[in-house]
């Protein structure tokens, strides 16, 4: 079983970037799928960094598709993906001939459940924070707003 790295995410096997799931520090070694990447700069949470050296004009892959291209001379492994080193680029549109027919989901069980909850549920009334007397009404799973007195 593969060991999971909880600091980064690779969305698709073809991707040339990893997504930081937490703030990563410059110089920090990131081990992912038996490879070690040394970060060239701090990478903020949800930002991406390159896992391949790419030269000007080369394509950036994320989600398994082209999302951009390099616009500077080159980027190195561990560098942050930014608007200064990349430009939007997309693969050509390709029509996929599929015969998809949408079918509405059956909502009757959900409607019946809500009706029963409204009919049979009794409010639980409590007072918290004695200074402001906040009245809380809880109707099983349905939330109602707090009413200030």
Query: Can you tell me whether residue 26 is helix, strand or coil?
Result: coil
**Residue of 61 and 108 predicted with greater confidence:** 61
CATH number of the 8-88 domain:
2.30.130.110
Structure-block tokens of residue 64: 């398994």
pLDDT at 11 over 70: yes
d(CA 90, CA 146): 48
pLDDT score at 24: 95
pLDDT score at 133: 40
Q: What is the DSSP string of 68-112?
A: EEE-SSEE-TTPBP-TTTEEE--PPP--------------HHHHH
Neighbours of 15 (CB within 10 A): 20
Structure-block tokens of residue 79: 């560098």
Going from N- to C-terminal start, the domains of the chain cover 8-88, 121-149
pLDDT score at 72: 96
* Average pLDDT over all residues of the chain: 78
Query: How does residue 129 score in pLDDT terms, banded at 50, 70 and 90?
Result: very low
Interval 73-83: pLDDT, tens: 999 999 999 99
């Amino acid at each position: 079983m593969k060991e999971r790295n909880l600091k980064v995410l690779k969305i698709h096997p073809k991707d040339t970037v990893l997504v930081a799931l937490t703030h990563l520090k410059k110089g920090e070694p990131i081990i992912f799928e038996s490879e070690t990447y040394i970060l060239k700069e701090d990478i903020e949470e949800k930002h991406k960094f390159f896992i391949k050296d790419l030269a000007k004009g080369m394509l950036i892959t994320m989600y398994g598709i082209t999302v951009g291209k390099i616009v500077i001379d080159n980027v190195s492994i561990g560098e942050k993906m930014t608007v200064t080193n990349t430009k939007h680029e997309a693969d050509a549109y390709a029509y996929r001939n599929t015969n998809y027919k949408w079918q509405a989901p059956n909502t009757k069980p959900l409607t019946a459940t809500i009706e029963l909850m409204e009919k049979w549920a009794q409010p639980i009334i409590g007072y918290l924070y004695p200074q402001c007397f906040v009245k809380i009404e809880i109707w099983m799973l349905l939330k109602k707003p707090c009413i200030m007195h």
